[in-house]
Amino acid sequence: MDVRIGVTQAPREIEVELADNTGVDELVAEVDKAITEGSGMLWLTDKRGKRVGIPAAKLAYVEVDTAADMRRVGFGAAV
């Protein structure tokens, strides 16, 4: 699952590729929790185990793309 995160006052998005077993509902709950707390961080762990933290107060938007695997083209692409 691919996640694109917009950060206020930053021209580029943050893109994180999460593990395939990550649930959309769980991710939405984590984002809601970080925003509700206000001063917290949204921590995500990508497929390779790298952790990414974004200050919740700086979140502009979070876009979840669950069909990203279906669009990949190239060598080694699963059909």
Query: Domain ranges in the chain?
Result: 2-71
Would you give per-residue pLDDT tens digits along the chain (79 residues)?
889 999 998 889 999 999 888 888 888 888 888 888 776 888 999 999 999 999 988 889 999 886 655 555 555 555 5
- In sequence order, what are the beta bridge partners of 46? 18
Token digits for 58? 């700086």
Q: In this predicted structure, what is the pLDDT of residue 72? A: 54
The pTM for the full model equals 0.72
Strands 51-55 and 59-65: unpaired
Distance CA 63, CA 42 (A): 14
